[in-house]
Chain A
Amino acid sequence: MSELVKVQVTVNGTRYEHTVEPRMLLVDFIRHELGLTGTHVGCEHGVCGTCTILLDGKPVRSCLLFAPQANGHEIRTIEGLGTMDNLHPIQEAFREAHGLQCGFCTPGVIMSVLPFVEQNANPTEEEVREALDGNLCRCTGYQNIVQAVQLASEMVASRKAEAR
């Protein structure tokens, strides 16, 4: 077994320091070391997008990184958005538009499109479908996910407007 290495990350605002094998995947680190099991694994080879998290604000596939590669970085996972009683607008939009069925792909979908939603107040259907192309969903036929993303864009934009 190889020597253990220290990994220090900030996840959803909390600092963690763990000592792990250098080959540990980041997704396993998040799920099993930190116990944040909202991030899922669907393919382990970078195609399905279920494991998507935000690394320094950008969506990345946590199954394609080793935990030590995240050392010193800032991570956001699905647990860092809203809570059950107080959903984040994007979560609310997915609920409203029935953008999830089994919900397995959902955390990855949401983390993938969150930056898109924040930057596009009024995206077209085509733009949304393109933004979703890196995430597989087997339940919804994507139709309601597309609608959820459009709704989320509107909701986020109007919140921003209110805040101003």
Chain B
Amino acid sequence: MAGKYLGQRLKRNEDPRLLTGQALFVDDVQLPGMLHAAFLRSDYAHAWIKSIDPSAARQHPGVVAVYTAADLGKIWKPGPLNVPPPSGIPGVVFNQRTQVPMAKDKVRHQGEAVAVVIAESRYIAEDAAAEIVVDYEPLEAVIDLEKALGEGSPLLYEDLGTNLASFVHQENGSYAEAAARADLIVKTHIVMERGTAAALENRGYVASWDNKSQSLTMWATTQGPIALRNGLATILGLSEHQIRVIAPFVGGGFGPKILLYQPEEIVVSWASLQLGRPVKWIEDRQENFGDTSQERRQIHEAEMALTRDGKILGVKDVFIHDTGAYNSYALTIPLNTQTHTTGPYKVANYLTEYRVVFTNRILVTPLRGAGRTYGTFVMERLMDKAAKRLGMDRTEIRRMNMIQPDEFPYKTGIVGQDFAKNVLDSGNYPAALDKAKEMIGYEAFLKEEQPRLRAEGKHVGLGISFFTEGSGVGPYEGARITVEASGKVNLSTGVGTQGQGHFTSFAQVAAEQLGVDPKNIFVTTGDTEAFHWGAGTFASRGATVAGSAVNAAALLVRQKILKMASKILEAPEEELELADGMVRVADIPSRCISLAELAVKANPSRGAVEPGTEPGLEATAYFGPPYGATAYGCCAMIVEVDPDTFNARIQRLVMAHDCGTVLNPMILEGQIHGGVGLGLGNSFFEKLEMDDNGQLQNASFMDYLIPRASDLPPIEIAHLHTPSPLNPLGIKGVGEAGAIPIPPAFVQAVEDALPEYNLEISEAPLSPNRLFQIVQAAKQA
């Protein structure tokens, strides 16, 4: 539903500030009298803390305070859960162990904070932190997922008696029954490893307690400012209205910044309260590798039952999920895995079961893709294997099992991250498959080009993979829109923004209803003083849920405008139109009034108003979908493998994608590009190397490689438009789309490039080194 503003490729309102160095990021906040915090972090992954001696650090000139867990008093306790465990699944086991502000008796991962120094400068704070003496009694680390659940494994939580954090079993239909009548069963063992979000801006907080106003202001790199404010109020014993959380410009989120009640959030704000001075903590890159949550480590045993002609009868997937040392984010990720495994396919009998394991690593919370990536990887690998075994074309087997356009809404019966039974709302999956095939030139490549290139001695392969992206989940978001007497429009919403262009896309939504140039709409996001109801930016829900709330609020303001203008212009509402900041009678454009004048009249300073009149051209509205909207797409790529170095280069990458109504195609494409970049990192570059003692081996950008400009191919995108019936604008989310289908398409293309070895790659990420090993093993077999 493209309009004058909606769906247009408009330049972003926020860019001039960002481009001239005038945008405020947390580390840019400078306050008089501000102190700086540095944390002392554990070198050990698992150890008892026998004693901490901060006396030397306290004597250090320039140090104002040194705190350990013992100093925190009653503030010290495990933080609240970010997300509760799911209701509505029978037999769920959930052993809650949430993050603590600083380790007290035991450290459970390398990088866990054990003490903090507050000093006049960061330099001094770090010097002094190095003078704190901690006596540890090292323990054997729990790293291996399978061993962690075995007899005699060391335990993270002695009181629990097990490293099992959770167990969830869901089944739709009966897999056993499907397997019994199958002609073919294919099995796979999939291992995916951890990476890190690596937003270029590290985390950071500035907390400033003002004694005179008895209020705390906190600038935070958070994706959930409102929830953070509310949680901090409870933890610090303040009223919510005494705390203002501001998420200013945030330099990339990608998931970890949605995690709430992180140790530093609590310690920094508490310290400011204690000292009556502003306190700043900015994470450095090395800390980030050890104290910011990560994702992507699961081990799957999966199988698929099929008929001889390729129809799927059932899928069974049993997996282990690594949650790290804590499970503050409950089960969002593995639930996403469960609901996304069957993806676009009709699977009548589906058994999915997982165990979540505590390990001595930093906790795991959603990272762009958030559980969907593994499910998609598992299913697409099973599809490839089945196609090979049945001698079918890989796209044909996919197509014949797809949910058809007339079969929506399609119920899978599996409970997802929003605790609702998963329903796929709308789409045209075969069309996206066809589009991607056409864009990559599927037939021509396989029949002509690939044989020709092979004859030239080149190892070039094609990979194609389908995915769904559950997005835009509830509960709700809200927005308030005010037309000011200046004629300018103010729009505030509770979600924070980390580069998604909300200052522009939300303005476009409102502009469409109000007939105001989006340039004149000032959007405030992520400031609890501007708007204080909402959940946050996660699960690709900003545009969908908050965008819908903006639309609803704009509609209410529009109605107010029309009602007032109709009286003043003496014309029925239906004959009025809103454009260029004016309301006018459609046929007689000279009969008009500006929104500015209307706003003045709506807020009279003298005289009487009609009973029941609300002042101002202002409205607040909320939106909560019944369940999430499911976007989807198909990605295809051509990959060339160098047989000497085993470097794999993507030569072309296409994506046919459908996220319903598009607010701004430029912003949408940017989201896909970024997702693809991360997806490629997760396929070939990025792996956190951890030794058996829980020591991270590559905690810097020198050793942990994120894709560079020359690693990425140009990305070609085609849009399909199936509006979602779940919100009035028909939007679906797009934030994680790029990341999801890349690993399965990539490994398929690598296999296809090296047919002589008949590879079966069942892991991600690969690396040139790992690929070499896999090929060596295949040669020997």
Query: Do A and B touch, yes or no (CB under 8 Å, in the complex)?
Result: yes
Residues of A within 8 A of B15 (CB): 94-95, 100, 103
Bound together, the chains give a CA A50 to CA B202 distance in angstroms of 12
Q: Report yes or no: A105 in contact with B670, Cβ–Cβ below 8 A.
A: no
Q: Which of A106-140 contact B (CB under 8 A)?
A: 106-107, 110, 125-126, 128-130, 132-133, 135-140
A83 within 8 A of B: yes
Q: Report yes or no: A98 in contact with B12, Cβ–Cβ below 8 A.
A: yes
Residues of A within 8 A of B21 (CB): 36-39, 77-79, 107
Q: Report yes or no: B285 in contact with A100, Cβ–Cβ below 8 A.
A: no
Q: Report yes or no: A103 in contact with B16, Cβ–Cβ below 8 A.
A: no
Minimal Cβ-Cβ distance residue in B for A107: B21
B759 within 8 A of A: no
Q: Report yes or no: B18 in contact with A47, Cβ–Cβ below 8 A.
A: no
Q: Report yes or no: B28 in contact with A103, Cβ–Cβ below 8 A.
A: no
Minimal Cβ-Cβ distance residue in A for B127: A1
Q: Report yes or no: B16 in contact with A136, Cβ–Cβ below 8 A.
A: no
Residues of B within 8 A of A82 (CB): 19-20
User: CB-CB contacts of B439-467 with A at 8 A, as 1s and 0s?
Assistant: 00000000000000000000000000000
Bound together, the chains give a CA A84 to CA B669 distance in angstroms of 25
Q: Report yes or no: A104 in contact with B251, Cβ–Cβ below 8 A.
A: yes
Bound together, the chains give a CA A138 to CA B709 distance in angstroms of 10
Say yes or no: A98-B30 contact (C-beta < 8 A), given A42-B285, A83-B20: no
Q: Report yes or no: B499 in contact with A141, Cβ–Cβ below 8 A.
A: no
Minimal Cβ-Cβ distance residue in A for B29: A37
B198 within 8 A of A: yes
Kindly identify which residue among A83, A107, A141 contacts B712, using a CB–CB cutoff of 8 Å. Answer: A141
Bound together, the chains give a CA A50 to CA B251 distance in angstroms of 11
Which of B487-495, B548-556, B700-708 makes up part of the contact surface?
B700-708
Minimal Cβ-Cβ distance residue in B for A94: B19
B11 within 8 A of A: yes
Residues of A within 8 A of B769 (CB): none
User: CB-CB contacts of B704-722 with A at 8 A, as 1s and 0s?
Assistant: 0010111010110000000
Residues of A within 8 A of B249 (CB): 102-104
B252 within 8 A of A: yes
In the complex, which of the residues B24, B200, B676 has the most CB atoms of chain A within 10 Å of its own CB atom? Answer: B200
Kindly identify which residue among B62, B199, B499, B701 contacts A45, using a CB–CB cutoff of 8 Å. Answer: B701
A13 within 8 A of B: no
User: CB-CB contacts of B4-27 with A at 8 A, as 1s and 0s?
Assistant: 000000011011111111111101
Q: Report yes or no: A146 in contact with B252, Cβ–Cβ below 8 A.
A: no
Residues of A within 8 A of B252 (CB): 101-102, 104, 138-139
Residues of A within 8 A of B501 (CB): 101
Residues of B within 8 A of A47 (CB): 700-702
Q: Report yes or no: B200 in contact with A42, Cβ–Cβ below 8 A.
A: yes
Dominant SS among interface residues on chain A: loop
Kindly identify which residue among A40, A79, A133, A143 contacts B251, using a CB–CB cutoff of 8 Å. Answer: A40
Say yes or no: A103-B500 contact (C-beta < 8 A), given A138-B678, A143-B673: no
Bound together, the chains give a CA A145 to CA B674 distance in angstroms of 11
Minimal Cβ-Cβ distance residue in B for A47: B701
Dominant SS among interface residues on chain B: loop
B631 within 8 A of A: no
A159 within 8 A of B: no
Bound together, the chains give a CA A126 to CA B200 distance in angstroms of 24
Bound together, the chains give a CA A146 to CA B199 distance in angstroms of 20
Q: Report yes or no: A98 in contact with B667, Cβ–Cβ below 8 A.
A: yes
Q: Report yes or no: A42 in contact with B201, Cβ–Cβ below 8 A.
A: yes
Determine how close the nearest CB of chain B comes to the CB of A62; give it in whole angstroms. Answer: 13
A58 within 8 A of B: no
Bound together, the chains give a CA A111 to CA B706 distance in angstroms of 21
Minimal Cβ-Cβ distance residue in B for A135: B709
Residues of A within 8 A of B674 (CB): 101, 138-141
Determine how close the nearest CB of chain A comes to the CB of B145; give it in whole angstroms. Answer: 27
A-side interface residues, number (CB < 8 Å): 62
Bound together, the chains give a CA A129 to CA B123 distance in angstroms of 36
Determine how close the nearest CB of chain A comes to the CB of B364; give it in whole angstroms. Answer: 19
B666 within 8 A of A: yes
A151 within 8 A of B: no
B301 within 8 A of A: no
B498 within 8 A of A: yes
In the complex, which of the residues B674, B714, B715 has the most CB atoms of chain A within 10 Å of its own CB atom? Answer: B674
Residues of A within 8 A of B25 (CB): 37, 40, 104
Q: Report yes or no: A140 in contact with B30, Cβ–Cβ below 8 A.
A: no
Bound together, the chains give a CA A135 to CA B701 distance in angstroms of 11
User: CB-CB contacts of A71-94 with B at 8 A, as 1s and 0s?
Assistant: 000000111011111010001001
Q: Report yes or no: A129 in contact with B30, Cβ–Cβ below 8 A.
A: no
Residues of B within 8 A of A1 (CB): 61-62
User: CB-CB contacts of A19-34 with B at 8 A, as 1s and 0s?
Assistant: 0010110000001100
Determine how close the nearest CB of chain B comes to the CB of A63; give it in whole angstroms. Answer: 10
Q: Report yes or no: B251 in contact with A144, Cβ–Cβ below 8 A.
A: no
Q: Report yes or no: B17 in contact with A104, Cβ–Cβ below 8 A.
A: no
A96 within 8 A of B: yes
Q: Report yes or no: B199 in contact with A138, Cβ–Cβ below 8 A.
A: yes
Residues of A within 8 A of B672 (CB): 141
Determine how close the nearest CB of chain B comes to the CB of A32; give it in whole angstroms. Answer: 7
Bound together, the chains give a CA A82 to CA B202 distance in angstroms of 27
Bound together, the chains give a CA A121 to CA B704 distance in angstroms of 35
A9 within 8 A of B: no
Residues of B within 8 A of A110 (CB): 19
Residues of A within 8 A of B285 (CB): 42-45, 48
Say yes or no: A136-B200 contact (C-beta < 8 A), given A48-B701, A98-B666: yes
Bound together, the chains give a CA A26 to CA B253 distance in angstroms of 27
Q: Report yes or no: B19 in contact with A141, Cβ–Cβ below 8 A.
A: no
Residues of A within 8 A of B709 (CB): 128-130, 132-133, 135, 137, 142, 145-146
Say yes or no: A144-B670 contact (C-beta < 8 A), given A38-B20, A47-B700, A87-B19: yes
Bound together, the chains give a CA A95 to CA B731 distance in angstroms of 25
B738 within 8 A of A: yes
Q: Report yes or no: A101 in contact with B200, Cβ–Cβ below 8 A.
A: no
User: CB-CB contacts of B198-229 with A at 8 A, as 1s and 0s?
Assistant: 11111000000000000000000000000000
Residues of B within 8 A of A126 (CB): 710
Bound together, the chains give a CA A94 to CA B254 distance in angstroms of 22
Q: Which of B163-217 contact A (CB under 8 A)?
A: 197-202
Say yes or no: A35-B30 contact (C-beta < 8 A), given A103-B249, A138-B199, A140-B677: yes
Q: Report yes or no: A142 in contact with B20, Cβ–Cβ below 8 A.
A: no
Residues of B within 8 A of A94 (CB): 15, 19
Bound together, the chains give a CA A1 to CA B123 distance in angstroms of 10
B284 within 8 A of A: yes
Residues of B within 8 A of A87 (CB): 16, 19-20
Kindly identify which residue among A78, A105, A142 contacts B677, using a CB–CB cutoff of 8 Å. Answer: A142
Residues of A within 8 A of B669 (CB): 98, 144
Q: Report yes or no: A100 in contact with B30, Cβ–Cβ below 8 A.
A: no
Bound together, the chains give a CA A104 to CA B282 distance in angstroms of 15
Q: Report yes or no: A95 in contact with B11, Cβ–Cβ below 8 A.
A: yes
Q: Report yes or no: A103 in contact with B23, Cβ–Cβ below 8 A.
A: yes
Q: Which residues of B are at the interface with A, using a C-beta cutoff of 8 A?
A: 11-12, 14-25, 27-28, 30, 61-62, 123, 197-202, 249-254, 284-285, 498-501, 666-667, 669-670, 672-678, 700-702, 706, 708-710, 712, 714-715, 738
Could you name 26 residue pairs across A and B whose Cβ atoms are closer than 8 Å? A31-B27, A38-B21, A38-B22, A42-B202, A43-B700, A44-B284, A45-B702, A47-B700, A82-B19, A91-B16, A94-B19, A98-B11, A98-B666, A103-B18, A103-B19, A103-B251, A104-B25, A105-B251, A110-B19, A126-B710, A132-B710, A136-B701, A138-B252, A138-B254, A141-B676, A141-B715
A38-B20, A142-B673 given; name 20 further pairs at CB < 8 Å.
A37-B21, A37-B28, A38-B21, A39-B21, A40-B201, A42-B202, A45-B700, A77-B21, A78-B19, A79-B20, A84-B17, A95-B15, A100-B19, A101-B252, A101-B500, A103-B15, A103-B19, A132-B708, A138-B198, A145-B709
Which 4 interchain pairs have the tightest Cβ spacing?
A: A38-B21, A104-B251, A102-B499, A103-B18
Q: Which residues of A are at the interface with B, using a C-beta cutoff of 8 A?
A: 1, 21, 23-24, 31-32, 35-45, 47-48, 50, 77-79, 81-85, 87, 91, 94-96, 98, 100-107, 110, 125-126, 128-130, 132-133, 135-146
